[in-house]
A = this chain, B = another copy of it.
Amino acid sequence: MEPIDLAVTALHGSVGDPALNSMNFLNEVAQHYPDAVSLAAGRPYEEFFDSALLHTHLDRFRRHLAEEVGLDRAGVDRTLLQYGRTKGVVHHLIARHLAVDEGLTVDPESIVVTVGCQEAMFLVLRALRAGPADVLFAVAPTYVGLTGAARLVDLPVRPVAGGPDGVDLEDLRAGLRRARAEGLRPRGCYVMPDFANPSGVSMDTAQRRRLLDLAAEEDLLLIEDNPYGLFPADGTARRPTLKALDTARRVVYLGSFAKTVLPGARVGYVVADQRVGEADGAVVPLADHLAKIKSMVTVNTSPISQAVIGGALLAHDCSLVAANTRERAAYARNLRHLVDGLARRFPAGGPVSWTVPAGGFFVVVSVPFAVDDALLHRSAREYGVLWTPMAHFYDAGTPVNALRLSVSAVTPESIDLGLDRLAALVTDTMSEDVTPECQGSATVRVS
């Protein structure tokens, strides 16, 4: 037998961390049961995918560089093929998109185009984590990519209760004060105000203003992640982003094109207009420091990928609302179909309840038993349906009595099939469940 070269304990602690293993585990389960109906994946809808469109996007961006930016042929080729600007080459188009779709005026120089929103998250956390007293806050349940990125820079994440309003402000305030009393330095609070992953909960506009007020009072940076904001359910009006309401540069805004254009480009961005005072008295946007860090992580985001996104933006005058007409309708239809389907299968007032989010991809189903990885395995193997245990979104890792369903990568038909199977699993588990009280509890409320 071949010897061992390295013990896992000799590697950085993150590689053994539940947050990093969580995605791996969920992907592996999905791979092991390829025929199971997946209500687990938060991937975008594939029905409209067409890789031939890559050519159209690329060519449109090349024409833009030639005709609007004024580059000659060598300049166009250099922009797409050579090393390039660390902060990116579609920053001006992203600024236009934010103006058109979000009513948000940002200086393109405060934007860093990143390798997906994940890199944006990582850069922000790397910049903010300066020492062992630093701590981050995040609304719980929390997107596992945030927790994982924090682990990579040894930044502890303290949960803030989410509750029905998207963030429990009193809990946040108490947590900040407790941390400071312990000698810790809160570096920011991570929030997803629109159709959060995984809770599905949104903050209303008044709550957003209250959160900004609290941030000002407590001198707190807010890290706003907004991957789902363009996907309200039918008839639901979109709300202003925190960043659009932010008049004091309290908000670092994270953007993604994974759901609004396509994940395969791996293009996201961060708006970081915070003014950083340098040792020599100069003032630069936080974006410049994030770019320096980026230069040592990925150098720059592939300009080919950026060109694909740039071309897609240009196709609709930088409006992703306009570009996503079909997708918005599909997600809204699926969400309605899932919620209606749950109501048909589980009696109102019974032991099974669920959220009815105002948009986005995710519905949380609360059940009267603990939902752990073993149950997911059983669900996949015996019932042929995949979903995500809510425990993966809590740091403690203890089972909670809830699971997340996603409506993004399915059809109404597969939703029906998946819900039939889920209902069978729930019924069987409830009839087997003899423990009078279940371990853990999830307080998941309707948005």
Residues of A within 8 A of B (CB): 2-16, 19-21, 23-24, 27, 43-44, 46, 49-51, 54-55, 58, 62, 74, 76-78, 80-84, 86, 115-116, 118-119, 122, 126-130, 145, 148-149, 151-153, 249, 258, 262-267, 274-279, 283, 286, 289, 292-293, 295-305, 308
Across the interface, do B6 and A264 meet the contact criterion of CB distance under 8 Å? Answer: no
Residues of chain B contacted by A303 (CB below 8 angstroms):
264
- With the chains together, A76 CA to B6 CA distance in Å? 37
Across the interface, do A6 and B55 meet the contact criterion of CB distance under 8 Å? Answer: no
Residue of B nearest to A300 (CB): B266
Residue in B8, B82, B275 whose CB lies within 8 Å of A2: B275
Rounded to whole Å, the gap between the CB of A413 and the closest CB of chain B is 16
Across the interface, do A49 and B77 meet the contact criterion of CB distance under 8 Å? Answer: yes
Known: A6-B275, A11-B289, A84-B264. 20 other contacts (CB 8 A): A2-B275, A5-B249, A8-B276, A12-B130, A12-B293, A43-B82, A46-B77, A49-B77, A51-B76, A51-B81, A54-B58, A54-B80, A55-B55, A82-B263, A83-B263, A115-B299, A122-B297, A264-B304, A267-B302, A304-B308
- With the chains together, A129 CA to B305 CA distance in Å? 31
Residues of chain B contacted by A151 (CB below 8 angstroms):
296
Residue in B78, B277, B297 whose CB lies within 8 Å of A297: B297
- With the chains together, A226 CA to B14 CA distance in Å? 28
Residues of chain B contacted by A276 (CB below 8 angstroms):
4-8, 11
User: What are 11 A-B pairs at a CB distance below 8 A?
Assistant: A5-B276, A6-B286, A7-B277, A15-B127, A49-B77, A51-B76, A80-B264, A82-B262, A115-B298, A149-B296, A304-B304
Rounded to whole Å, the gap between the CB of A272 and the closest CB of chain B is 10
Across the interface, do A302 and B115 meet the contact criterion of CB distance under 8 Å? Answer: yes
Rounded to whole Å, the gap between the CB of A392 and the closest CB of chain B is 14
Across the interface, do B81 and A264 meet the contact criterion of CB distance under 8 Å? Answer: yes
- With the chains together, A305 CA to B2 CA distance in Å? 36
